[in-house]
Structure 1
Amino acid sequence: MDQHQLYQQYQPAIYQYIFFLVQNKELAEDLTQETFYKCFKNIETFRQDAEINTWLHRIARNLAYDYFRRKKLIQFIPFAKVYEGMTEDLPAQWVEHNEQMKELFNAMAKLKFAYREVLILRKIKGLSVKETSELLGYSETKVKNNTARAIEALRKNWKGGDLHEK
């Protein structure tokens, strides 16, 4: 697969993942571009012991972490602040224009980062326990425990919806 095909195939998913982490459109775009720059620059170091998708998500995650470390940001911008006024620019497949979705985003914004991240990867991105474990560098047990705890915390924070664990 050439660079253009790789970018075309994985860019939307990487952008969406980064956007959920940083909750800022311009920053997500910049970090997405940087993710692919690092990928193309270091493609010869890819050992293929993981999926390319997992490798790209790991690069994206590390870049987001580095950004927040550099900026010494502890709190993330609440989802609802980003959500309002920007819906026309967000990918249509994951944005719904209703109050229940806003409430869900607000509830997710209250979760600690480790819980929010595992929910994004497992329930929104649909990664398996193993893929999430590889991406985060956690044991599969820790991923399962964080997922269960995150869902429970989200249930407590989210008044508007019925949350079922799959």
Structure 2
Amino acid sequence: MSFNKETDITDWYTDYSDAIFKYIVMMTHDYQQAEDLTHDTFVKAYQSYHSFERNSSPKTWLYRIAHNVSIDAMRKRKPLFFFKNLFPTTDPAPLPEEVIQIKESSRELYQALSQLKVTYREVIILRKIKALSIQETADILQWSESKVKMTLKRGLEALEEQLIKEGIGHEKTI
């Protein structure tokens, strides 16, 4: 790490802006707002660069800023609106039927996820969708590792109940 503010922020933006953007979209359910909040995340990182103590990774620090920016925005906002088909499949040549099934399953999963409590949604997004470690998730949410584990367990149970309630069934989606 160079410890040069402009270089570090530029490198971090290159490395993490897409992941931060997707995290914020999943939190806020608003594509355009997520673009603004991603920008705000990196502006805040630039402004607070001196406070980055380097006892965690830049990725964890940026996710923490994105988390705070998202929570602040959600507090100021009226009810959340659901987004559709934001993330395309990564399979290079799926059959048309597979594309329809994948999109429908993703839509159902994200719809059910959007119905959960914010704490459940946060921990599921960070651990299961963004694939962050328990320690990274704990650092971002400023929770203990045991709270991350317990909240994830409860969140997944609530997600399963929500999927069943919506008629999706008992299929393991996560």
TM-score (norm 2): 0.80
Alignment-derived partner of residue 68 in structure 1: 74
CA distance in 2, matches of 1:66, 1:93: 32
Within the candidate set 6, 12, 22, 1:6 is matched to 12
Alignment-derived partner of residue 83 in structure 1: 84
Percent identical among aligned pairs is 36
- Deviation, structure 1 residue 66: 1.4
- Aligned partners of 1:133 and 1:140 also within 8 Å: yes
Within the candidate set 21, 30, 37, 1:31 is matched to 37
Q: Deviations over 1:25-49 (max 9, x none)?
A: 1100000001101111221211001
CA distance in 2, matches of 1:105, 1:164: 11
Amino acid at match of 1:76: L
Comparing 60-69 with 23-32, greater Cα deviation is found at: 60-69
1:117-128 paired onto structure 2 within 5 Å: 117-128=122-133
CA distance in 2, matches of 1:116, 1:134: 16
SS in 2 for 1:68: helix
- Deviation, structure 1 residue 68: 2.3
Q: Which consecutive unaligned segments of at least 5 residues does structure 1 have? A: none
CA distance in 1, matches of 2:47, 2:14: 17
RMSD of aligned alpha carbons: 2.1
- Deviation, structure 1 residue 148: 0.6
Whether 1:110 and 2:111 are equivalent positions in the alignment is no
- Deviation, structure 1 residue 163: 2.0
CA distance in 2, matches of 1:11, 1:60: 10
Would you identify which runs of 4 or more consecutive aligned residues in structure 1 move more than 6 Å? none
- Aligned partners of 2:12 and 2:58 also within 8 Å: no
Which of structures 1 and 2 has the bigger CA Rg?
Answer: 2
CA distance in 1, matches of 2:147, 2:119: 11
- Deviation, structure 1 residue 132: 0.6
Within the candidate set 35, 51, 55, 2:57 is matched to 51
- Aligned partners of 1:100 and 1:161 also within 8 Å: no
- Deviation, structure 1 residue 93: 4.7
Amino acid at match of 1:145: M
Alignment-derived partner of residue 138 in structure 2: 133
Comparing 153-162 with 137-146, greater Cα deviation is found at: 153-162
Q: Which consecutive unaligned segments of at least 5 residues does structure 2 have? A: 92-98
CA distance in 2, matches of 1:6, 1:66: 22
How many residues get paired?
155
